[in-house]
Chains A and B, each alone.
Chain A
């Protein structure tokens, strides 16, 4: 096997008015033909920067400040743009993350493939088209002769990613850099795409760098792994060795933070030194503010009972006549007992988030009943009465960047529910409670005067949690609370949620597409598909003895980390 691409001592800096920021330093990587190298790390670790630097695609103000990139024995760093353009696509090509935006929406697949081929290879248009059809067949697009003249929007996400792969391969490059190629795809499609990539690399003898944050993807496809942390490769070696017996502390904590699909643990171990998150004190619920007025009266039966819930969205223009209905939630029933964590799992578009928004009252259901603590919420007409119930349930959202108002200080964000529901006597008391809540979620008591943009995604999610706690809820709805976070941050946030639940006796509805996360968090799980519940079972039963066909299908696709540290 010959070395195709060799990156030696690469240093990339971004110049800014606050001084240079080094995004990558002293990075050494190489790939041979037929080999797949995984580059894994969390956001901001410099993974994508490496890929872009190798391709000559660094955008200003980024620049290569040292080291060499050698492609098949020739140095390619510092080549003039025109020479680099000739190489890109022909010798080295790239597969991007988002298949929805990496194709030109105005040109047919045929045009895009043929232009790329005729630019780099000595082919006539007719020959190029013939090869394009063969290539589409190869990447698994059914009926390529008919579909080649379609536009990108006529393909599904997974099919589009296949087209992107075909586009990356069409000029027969020897090196392919795939930057998070499956992150935007559902798990069932992810498995197919990874299979395809592996097969193509083996048959064509190309070398591939696959950049990902997902240990599961690495385990599935990579021969060797390089772990990146803060711009440096901290550890590199064969996949089995790195995943099974890592040397570096960071790698160890990264692997232990990956939720395990096979067994439920009480907490995620070894995650404390990743992002400092102040030590937590336990609180005494009897004397603490959060524990006041918690005597809701005896409750027999479930805390939340959802009966035959239906939600129909009307889509299409008001005048066009093309209005049709979409049944986002179609006859869903489930109960959640007090103190329980109930999971909703399903692929995107299965109606999970809609259910969360129906329960919290953001949407009004078109049918069915939501009974909370014995009261049918639809039957309450007075706003004050409704607010009294709503206060007891709060929600934590998916996107940490849009779920806190960027124009408000953190203290004001957390204080708002307390002030609105008049849960404290004086302004000074409110401030004290806010500081205490922020401290309790691990942000420290002094952050109230800062704005959200001064915090990372994980910290913002903690702000969201503090805001949710500020109404003294007893029911918490978590809608994909960690799917936008890095895996180590996810572990910390999930640990926090578990601690809070134990301390405050919270009941939770936990929504996720991620089966291992569900397994770690939930007592019972409902599997959703196209607005309906396929199966409800206690978590262990569901994972060990799935009854439903679709559940089995989902479980089979779940990425398994072979040889994960026990």
Chain B
């Protein structure tokens, strides 16, 4: 009732106006947890993106790294140096800077693999849901089989295959893309299933039949009419899977099958630091760990909020 009243007077309120008036924005501004999470995630992502300007040191420029400064504790401890806020690692690299540069790799892998999984999953879901019958059965059985393996196992498998196929030097160069491929291929199932079930509901609606009566070909109906109506849940899955993809990347890198130490991600940093944990240099592994946990937590909380906000039953 109120929705209708709110809009009738305004002729065209523009995209921004519509967003500010929307229920989603209202829900966002009334959820402190969502706002804090969004703020943290945004700051972290921006800091990583502009690591070249934000980071006090360039840890991968060998000219600026000095072994004399190796294994320095955080600035507030005895022997700490104010220019190395969170201390340095075994090669004298600033931990704070490596976190920012490492976060960049983690986020890159996360976003790319989620995008890859989403595109693949949405395409399969659309086709399976709209075509039905044999096509649907084949795609969904593949999905069922894939679901019976843990995602990390599939990622390990794909990574292993590429390791065997590519020469060592080349592999390090394309390691990021191999990771994106392996994580993406293990994540598409959830999109496919969700999109498929939404499509099966949407395709019986009368606006789809209206499109058929006009004479529109199936592709047009599918992509121009049905697709925009099934993207809501996809957004929620994508947010939650972004966190999951970052974790998976960190796990793979921690196990040593992810990105190489020359271009370390958060997971690689944690693995490197792990060797020093028991010799007292705890900061090399703890700080990247905290950064990873906070990043994943904030994205997860955002995803949870988005799921609740988009679910009319919980309002």
B is a partner of A:
yes
Q: Which of A385-439 contact B (CB under 8 A)?
A: 386-387, 390-391, 393-395, 397-399, 402-408, 416-417, 420-421
Is B216's CB under 8 angstroms from A420's CB? yes
Rounded to whole Å, the gap between the CB of A143 and the closest CB of chain B is 37
- Across the interface, A454 reaches (CB within 8 A) one of B7, B206, B217, B225, namely B7
Is B3's CB under 8 angstroms from A399's CB? no
Which chain B residue lies CB-closest to A456?
B4
Q: Which residues of A contact B5 (CB under 8 A)?
A: 18
Is B212's CB under 8 angstroms from A361's CB? yes
Rounded to whole Å, the gap between the CB of B42 and the closest CB of chain A is 25
Is B228's CB under 8 angstroms from A407's CB? yes
Per-residue interface assignment for chain B, residues 1 to 45, with 1 indicating a CB less than 8 Å from any chain A CB and 0 otherwise: 111111110011000000000000010000000000000000000
State whether A395 and B213 are in contact (beta carbons under 8 Å apart), knowing that A21-B1, A403-B206, A407-B228 are contacts in the complex: yes
A467 part of interface (Cβ distance < 8 Å): yes
Q: Which of B229-250 contact A (CB under 8 A)?
A: 229
- Across the interface, A467 reaches (CB within 8 A) one of B12, B26, B209, B210, namely B210
A464 part of interface (Cβ distance < 8 Å): yes
Is B205's CB under 8 angstroms from A402's CB? yes
Per-residue interface assignment for chain A, residues 542 to 564, with 1 indicating a CB less than 8 Å from any chain B CB and 0 otherwise: 00000000000000000000000
Which chain A residue lies CB-closest to B221?
A405
Rounded to whole Å, the gap between the CB of A472 and the closest CB of chain B is 12
B50 part of interface (Cβ distance < 8 Å): no
Q: How far is the CA of A120 from the CA of B135 in the complex (A)?
A: 56
Is A471's CB under 8 angstroms from B11's CB? no
- Across the interface, A387 reaches (CB within 8 A) one of B11, B12, B215, B229, namely B215
**Tally of chain B residues near chain A (CB < 8 A):** 28
Rounded to whole Å, the gap between the CB of A421 and the closest CB of chain B is 7
Q: Which of A1-48 contact B (CB under 8 A)?
A: 14, 16-19, 21, 44
Q: How far is the CA of A300 from the CA of B228 in the complex (A)?
A: 45
State whether A454 and B8 are in contact (beta carbons under 8 Å apart), knowing that A21-B2, A44-B1, A407-B228 are contacts in the complex: yes
B62 part of interface (Cβ distance < 8 Å): no
A267 part of interface (Cβ distance < 8 Å): no
**Tally of chain A residues near chain B (CB < 8 A):** 43
B142 part of interface (Cβ distance < 8 Å): no
Which chain B residue lies CB-closest to A395?
B213
Which chain A residue lies CB-closest to B217?
A383
A146 part of interface (Cβ distance < 8 Å): no
A357 part of interface (Cβ distance < 8 Å): yes
B207 part of interface (Cβ distance < 8 Å): yes
Which chain A residue lies CB-closest to B216?
A420
Which of B5, B212, B217: most chain A Cβ within 10 A? Answer: B212
Q: Which residues of A contact B212 (CB under 8 A)?
A: 360-362
Rounded to whole Å, the gap between the CB of A435 and the closest CB of chain B is 14
Is B214's CB under 8 angstroms from A402's CB? no
Main SS class of interface, A: loop
- Across the interface, B214 reaches (CB within 8 A) one of A21, A406, A408, A417, namely A417
Is B210's CB under 8 angstroms from A390's CB? no
Is B6's CB under 8 angstroms from A18's CB? yes
Q: How far is the CA of A387 from the CA of B220 in the complex (A)?
A: 15
Is A18's CB under 8 angstroms from B2's CB? yes
Q: Which of B181-218 contact A (CB under 8 A)?
A: 205-207, 209-217
A202 part of interface (Cβ distance < 8 Å): no
Q: How far is the CA of A417 from the CA of B4 in the complex (A)?
A: 28
Which chain B residue lies CB-closest to A387?
B215
A449 part of interface (Cβ distance < 8 Å): yes
Which chain B residue lies CB-closest to A446?
B11
Q: Which residues of B contact A407 (CB under 8 A)?
A: 228-229
Q: How far is the CA of A383 from the CA of B219 in the complex (A)?
A: 14
A453 part of interface (Cβ distance < 8 Å): yes
Q: How far is the CA of A449 from the CA of B12 in the complex (A)?
A: 7
Which chain B residue lies CB-closest to A470?
B214
Rounded to whole Å, the gap between the CB of B180 and the closest CB of chain A is 30
Rounded to whole Å, the gap between the CB of B36 and the closest CB of chain A is 22
Q: How far is the CA of A446 from the CA of B12 in the complex (A)?
A: 10
Rounded to whole Å, the gap between the CB of A393 and the closest CB of chain B is 8
Q: Which residues of B contact A456 (CB under 8 A)?
A: 4
Per-residue interface assignment for chain A, residues 451 to 492, with 1 indicating a CB less than 8 Å from any chain B CB and 0 otherwise: 001101000000010010001000000000000000000000
Q: Which residues of B contact A450 (CB under 8 A)?
A: 7
Is A394's CB under 8 angstroms from B229's CB? no
Which chain B residue lies CB-closest to A357?
B209
- Across the interface, A471 reaches (CB within 8 A) one of B12, B207, B214, B225, namely B214
State whether A390 and B215 are in contact (beta carbons under 8 Å apart), knowing that A17-B26, A454-B4 are contacts in the complex: yes
Rounded to whole Å, the gap between the CB of A349 and the closest CB of chain B is 17
Per-residue interface assignment for chain A, residues 355 to 396, with 1 indicating a CB less than 8 Å from any chain B CB and 0 otherwise: 001001110000000000000000000010011001101110
Q: How far is the CA of A454 from the CA of B220 in the complex (A)?
A: 25
Is A405's CB under 8 angstroms from B207's CB? yes
Is B209's CB under 8 angstroms from A453's CB? no
Rounded to whole Å, the gap between the CB of B93 and the closest CB of chain A is 49
Q: Which residues of A contact B205 (CB under 8 A)?
A: 402-403
Rounded to whole Å, the gap between the CB of B61 and the closest CB of chain A is 49
Q: How far is the CA of A187 from the CA of B193 in the complex (A)?
A: 41
Q: Which residues of A contact B217 (CB under 8 A)?
A: 383
Which chain B residue lies CB-closest to A18?
B2
Is B1's CB under 8 angstroms from A399's CB? no
Is A397's CB under 8 angstroms from B11's CB? no
Q: How far is the CA of A387 from the CA of B209 in the complex (A)?
A: 15
Is B225's CB under 8 angstroms from A405's CB? yes
Rounded to whole Å, the gap between the CB of B62 and the closest CB of chain A is 53
Q: Which residues of B contact A408 (CB under 8 A)?
A: 225, 228
Q: Which residues of A contact B137 (CB under 8 A)?
A: 318
State whether A405 and B229 are in contact (beta carbons under 8 Å apart), knowing that A14-B1, A399-B206 are contacts in the complex: yes
Q: Which residues of A contact B215 (CB under 8 A)?
A: 386-387, 390-391, 417, 420-421
Q: Which residues of B contact A361 (CB under 8 A)?
A: 212-213
Q: How far is the CA of A318 from the CA of B138 in the complex (A)?
A: 13
Which chain A residue lies CB-closest to B12?
A449
Q: How far is the CA of A399 from the CA of B210 in the complex (A)?
A: 12
Is B210's CB under 8 angstroms from A464's CB? yes
Q: How far is the CA of A391 from the CA of B215 in the complex (A)?
A: 7
Rounded to whole Å, the gap between the CB of B260 and the closest CB of chain A is 44
Q: How far is the CA of A387 from the CA of B212 in the complex (A)?
A: 10
Rounded to whole Å, the gap between the CB of B14 and the closest CB of chain A is 10
Which chain B residue lies CB-closest to A20?
B2
Q: List 11 A-B contacts (CB under 8 A).
A: A17-B26, A18-B5, A361-B212, A362-B212, A391-B214, A403-B210, A405-B225, A406-B229, A416-B216, A421-B214, A464-B210
Given contacts A390-B214, A404-B210, 16 further A-B contacts (CB under 8 A): A16-B1, A360-B209, A362-B209, A386-B215, A391-B215, A395-B209, A397-B209, A402-B206, A403-B209, A405-B207, A405-B228, A408-B228, A416-B211, A416-B214, A421-B215, A453-B3
10 cross-chain pairs, A with B, having the tightest CB-CB distances, nearest first: A403-B206, A397-B206, A407-B228, A387-B215, A402-B205, A18-B2, A405-B207, A417-B214, A16-B2, A360-B213
